[in-house]
Structure formats: structure tokens, C-alpha cells
Amino acid sequence: MAQISCHLIESKKGKYPRTRLKANSKPPTPAIGRRDRSQHSLVRGTTPVTPLTPLRQDALLPNRPSGEDVAAENIELDPPEESSSHGVQEPTPEDGSDDLYARLSQLRSSTLRNRNLLGMHTIYLGESFLLTYVVRKSIDAEATPPSVSTLQLPLPTAASNKDRLRPDSHLSEEDLEVLRLRNAFTLLEKEACDALVATFFQIVYPAFPIFDRRDFARLYETNQISLLVLNSIFALASTLCDAKVIKMAGFDCRRSARKAFLKRTKALYDADYDRDKISLIQATFVISFLWDGANDAKDMWHWLGIAISTAQTKGLHRSTRHSILRLRDRKLWKRLWWSLYVRDRHCAGTVGRPLRIRDDDCDVEPLDETDFIDADDDEFGDSDPVVRSSVCTRTNVNFAHIQYTISMSRLAVIFGNIISSKFPISPSRDTLSSAELVEHLKIWRKQLLLRVSDDDEDQNIWFWARMLDLSYNHLLILLHRPEHGKVPATVISPHHTALIAANRISRIVDEFLGMGARQQTQLQICPSVFAALTIYTSMVRHSDKIQRELAENRARLVMLGLSQIAETWPASSWILRLFETLFNNQQMVRPWSTRDHREIASSLSAGGRIAQEETLDRGVAAANKQQQEFTASYGQASLQVVEGVFKDGNG
């Protein structure tokens, strides 16, 4: 082995001259979808690549009328002891976190009388935090008017400076390059962007109004919208949109589009690209709908948990009635929190997970009609053509949408009580009895302003009333399902309420199939369909032949609806396969073929509306015939008792 002499050299580590990255070293941000076609061509099956720099996050909106909203820079603080040569205290470190509470203590109590602060410029201070106690003492919170809450306080300038929220202010060039390699800055043509955003606001937003549409429209149309939020919307909308939009976006199939947008969203999230907590809540909430099955490491439970915990750090679980927030943000936070609450209850009840939100920790007021006024077209006014012409505001927020959201939030409270009472982990805790829970459901149903009626001429009311009915019957099944798979032999029993609820769900699925509403229903229909199929799985083991056949026919109808949803909704595929296997293992009156519902679904796509109506008519006719046999066997009196229970709201 050669002998090589070694000599120590002087290390230059840390001794080279450092230079700051120039702010203007990156090319300017182009408009969405506008690109030089001579340099970039659209390749079939891929997305058009546009070399974008990070867009500004949550910059103050352009042309904002003076005095409408207050930025944190304008909050009055006690004069600092030392200042820089420019008269402004130099924040250290750059995000101001080290001296955050010290600067909060400089707030004057008179500042808290201004109730027009942007939500992104506030910090939540929980009561049990000792530093909160100290800060409140120093700003003389006792002297603060009782009508003003000190739970949210204005952030000091260093921590709320809008320039600090720019991604290029805290991400290294290496981080940005990784995001570019992952196509995180890739945007579609404007037409494709508009189509996907419009899909979201037409289908998702009416049920989950998690954005301020006016602010969203301004940011979107001026290319200042958060890329994290935008890609999350693209990911969900690509599941719900028309097939032609997928082609317009440059993808061969829906699955590849959803995967690409979801990958970009996760890359932006993992890189800590967006620092605005409201944007983080919105984006993680949206992608919580996207999961393929039980084996996903980051499924809906994962992303919803992030959204909820981030919301709690921002203080969305607390009342903002007397806060210093501007009115629009107070309404937005309230709608956003109740959307999280509804999803928390549904996820816990659907996949058997604990409730993340404890009612004892929250004091947010129930939703009412006034919380949706800022989403009404009338408030956009004639002075803002950008907002009025945006795809975000083309779908009117109407009476049916508002009543659905309010009613679902109230039903979610009962849902949580059912989960806690029927499946308690600590039996020593006080829980509600089944009779009390049934009474709560009755009261909820009597207070509904959206009621199911075949005479509804308004299509919106007809649709959203049935969506409420789906969730209501889902809760009835959860409350009255037979224990340990045992089906009562007698028709008139408390557990039979679950069967009537399952039948009601199958009837609504039938109606949705008839009107071709798969696109609008797939976001929320799966839990109810799952609940109905669990009852039918038990009923096919019933000792009575007519009951078994009725259950089989209705199960086939529900499976037909599920197979239609499975074409676009990944999570429904494993539910479909599960029940295919379960029904194949049962002693069926008529042999079950896993191809039955798929062949019917294929005929629906190939034959269109005529084939669909003929298929459904045959299924309904068979079910009606068996229902007549059931009535003849058990007597009209028994049937009237069962129907009476349902009409009373107990079944």
C-alpha cells in the first residue's frame, strides 16, 4: 500500500463571505395559465409545465377601501426602548417569535376596542397558559370593556408582517428547487383551473362553506391565491368533475389527475410552504376527503386531525362574538369550525375512531343564517366586477344550502352523543340513554326547515332535503342496529327501526340514480350506503323468506349506486368489494353474482337514461311486489305501526 504523507490544512469553514439572495433574482410570477406556447407545449396525459416562482401568500387585497380592514402593522404599541436608524425596531429572529410575548405586553388596552382586524394577524391565548395570564395583566385586561374578548390578540408587526408569509422569505433555494422538481409550482391553463375551481364551489362549498368567497375570488383572479389551497381544491375537484375537465387539464384519467394534485399538495405542506394557519386548515380539510382505503398511512383521519389541531391552535374552537376580528373573519371561522366538527363526527362514526373535538372545550355559537350573508351575491356589489365575474361566485348560496349546513351541524352534535353513549370507553361517565337520544332526533327532525317532499318544485330543496335524510337514517341505524348480528324474529321491535332506516336510504339512492346525481352525492353518500348494507347483510340471514328477498333486492339497488360511485370515488371501491364478499358467503334466495351491479352500471353508461329507467323500474317493481306479499303475510295493522314509527321521527 502506497505511503502518502498527510498535512493538516487550515479549515475555511464558516470563513467565506456570505451574500444575501437578492429578492429580485427570480423571474416575475406569470398569470395563471398564461405561458409562451413556443417554449411549452401541452402533451396529452401530462400537465402543462409553467416555471412559476412562489406566489405571494395572503397579501393584503388590492384596492382595499381605507379603514375597511386593519393590518397588524397599524396596531398601536407602546414605543420600543430601542429602534433602528429607520425608526423601526429590528425584529430578531426574522419571525419575531423570541420576543413575541414581550411585544404583546406592550399592547394598550385601548387597542382592543378596534374590532376590524384580519384573522391572519391574530394570536390565540388560552386561559390555562401562564404566559397568557402575565400578558393580560400587563395590558390591563381588567380595564378592557367587557364586550371585548382577549382570547385573540393582535400579532406584533414582526410576527404578522405580510412579507414574512411569502414562501421565499423562509424557504431555502434548495427547498424551492425540490418543490419545482415535484411540479408543485405547475399550474394548468386558465380554462382548466376555472373548471376545477367551479366544480369545487358548485359541489363541495354548499355543504362545507370553508372559504370567504369574496376574498377567495379576489385572490384567485389576481393570482395571489395560496398554491397549497389551490392544489388541494384541484385534487378534490378532479374526483368530482366531468370527464372532459380531466382531459382539458392534460390527464389521461381521473386517478392520475387526483394523484398528481394530491402529491403537489402534500409536497407544499411538507415543505412548510404556507405559514397562514387558516390556509393550512382549509387545505388539510379538503384533502381529508381523499383516501383510498384502510391501509392508507395518511388517510382522512390523519389529515382531518391536522386540520382540527391547527384550528385549535388558532382559536377557532372559541367564540369570536366579542373578539377583535373583522366581521367577515368571525363568520368564516365559525363556518370553518362547524365544518370540522361535522367531519369529525362522521369520521369517528364511520371508521370507529375517537372523537377529536370535545364539546367541553368549545364555546362556538351554533350556526345561523347571518353567518352566510357574506356569501350572498348581493353583498358583492356592483363595484367589484372581478368578484362578480369570478367562477367562485357563479353558484348562488341559497336557502337550501344554508339550511342544510345549519341542520347538519345540529345533527352532528347528536351524532357525537350517540357515539359517546352507545360505545363508551369509560362506562363510569354519564351518558344519554337510547330514549333520550331518540327524543333528540325527534326534536331535530321537527325543527327542520328542509323537509323531504315529492312535491318540491325547487330542485335544490328536493336534493338537500334528501341529503339530510340520508344522514338522519344513518344515525338511526347506528342507534338501533341489532347487537352481535342478531335479527329480531318479530317485525315490531325497537331494532326494526334500523331496517326501516336502511330501506329509506335505499329509496333515496334509487331517486338519486334516477336523476343522475352521482357527481353531486358521492362526497357524503358512502357512510349512509355502508350503514344500509350492514343491515341488509344481517337481514339475508333472516328466517323469513320474504324478508330475505326484500333485503336482497334492496341491497342490489344500493350496490348499484355504490358501483356507480366507485368509478370515481376511490374509498367506495373497498366497501363494494367487502359487501360483494359478504353477500357471496350468505345463503341467498337468488344466487348473487358480483357482476350483477357492474353489468347494470355498464348498461347505464352505454344505454343512457332509457336503460337506467328500465333497470330501476324492474328493481322497484320487484321490491313493490314483495312488499305486497309482506303486507299480506303480516297484516296491514303491523305495517301501519312500523310506518307510524318512521313518520314520528323514530324510524
The predicted structure's pLDDT at residue 88: 32
For residue 650, the model assigns a pLDDT of 38
Residue-level pLDDT at 374: 61
How large is the average pLDDT for residues 450-479?
Answer: 88
Q: What is residue 585's three-state secondary structure? A: coil
Residues 212 and 25: their CA atoms lie apart, in Å, by 34
pLDDT score at 574 = 78
* Cell 390523519, residue located: 302
Residues 492, 496: Cα–Cα separation, whole Å: 7
State the average pLDDT for the chain.
Answer: 74
Structure-block grid coordinates of residue 337:
369550525
50-59, 114-123, 359-368, 374-383, range with greatest mean pLDDT: 359-368
Three-state DSSP state, 328: helix
Range 250-276 average pLDDT: 94
Torsion angle (degrees, nearest 10) of CA 164, 165, 171, 176: -140
pTM, entire model: 0.77
> What is the pLDDT, as a whole number, of residue 609?
39
Residue 503 CA to residue 533 CA, distance in Å, equals 10
Axis crossing angle, helix 545-566 with helix 496-515, rounded to the nearest 10: 40
Mean pLDDT of 136-161: 62
What's the pLDDT at 646? 35
470 phi, psi to nearest 5 deg? -60, -50
Does the pLDDT at position 512 exceed 60?
Answer: yes
**388-402, 531-545, 590-604: the lowest-pLDDT one:** 590-604
DSSP string, 186-241: ----HHHHHHHHHHIIIIITTT---S-HHHHHHHHHTT-S-HHHHHHHHHHHHHHS
Q: Is the pLDDT of residue 304 over 80?
A: yes
530 contact partners, CB below 8 Å, separation of at least 6? 350, 575
Return the pLDDT at 69.
Answer: 47
Cell numbers describing residue 159: 410576527
Confidence of residue 401 (pLDDT cuts 50, 70, 90): very high
Q: For the chain, what are the domain ranges?
A: 72-81+90-165, 167-415, 436-647
CA dihedral 487, 491, 492, 493 (to 10 degrees): 0
* Cβ density class 550-575: b for 16+ within 10 Å, e for less: bbbbbbbbbbbbbbbbbebbbbbbeb
What's the pLDDT at 66?
35
Confidence of residue 142 (pLDDT cuts 50, 70, 90): low
Cα distances (angstroms) measured from residue 85 to each of 89, 90, 92, 362: 9, 10, 16, 46
Identify residue 23 by its one-letter amino acid code. A
**What's at 121, amino acid-wise?**
H
Q: Residue 445 above 60 pLDDT?
A: yes
Find out whether 197 and 391 touch, Cβ atoms under 8 Å: yes
Least confident of 159-168, 388-397, 453-462: 159-168
Of 554, 572, 648, whose CA–CA distance to 289 is shortest?
Answer: 572
| Cβ count near 37 (within 10 Å) | 9
Report the share of the chain in percent with pLDDT over 70.
63
Asked if the model's pLDDT at residue 143 lies above 60, the reply is: no
Most confident range, picked from 191-200, 543-552, 566-575, 594-603: 191-200
What is the band of 570 on the pLDDT scale with cuts at 50, 70, 90? confident
122-124/152-154 β-pairing: antiparallel
Categorize the per-residue pLDDT at 115 as very low, low, confident or very high, splitting at 50, 70 and 90: low
Ranking 95-104, 291-300, 463-472 by mean pLDDT, the lowest is 95-104
What distance in Å separates the CA atoms of residue 448 and residue 575, rounded to the nearest whole number? 31
Give the model's pLDDT for residue 172.
Answer: 86
Which is more confident, 531 or 71? 531
* pLDDT attached to residue 628: 44
How confident is the model over 142-158, as a mean pLDDT? Answer: 63
Alpha-carbon span 359 to 600, nearest angstrom: 45
112 φ/ψ angles, rounded to the nearest 5 degrees: -70, -5
φ/ψ bin of 484: left (φ > 0), alpha (ψ from -120 to 50), beta (otherwise): left
Structure-block grid coordinates of residue 622: 320487484
Q: Determine which of 71-75, 192-196, 280-284 has the lowest per-residue pLDDT on average.
A: 71-75
Q: Does residue 159 surpass a pLDDT of 60? A: no
> What average pLDDT score do residues 101-127 get?
70
d(CA 160, CA 69): 14
Mean pLDDT of 135-146: 62
Confidence band for 552, pLDDT divided at 50, 70 and 90: confident
Distance CA(572)–CA(529), nearest Å, equals 10
Residue 275 has pLDDT above 80, yes or no: yes
Q: What is the rounded (10 degree) CA torsion for 192, 193, 198, 204?
A: 110
Which of 38-42, 103-107, 201-205 is least confident? 38-42
Distance of CA 496 to the CA centre of its chain: 33
Residue 626 above 70 pLDDT?
A: no
Residue 447 CA from chain centroid, whole number: 25
Residue type, 564: Q
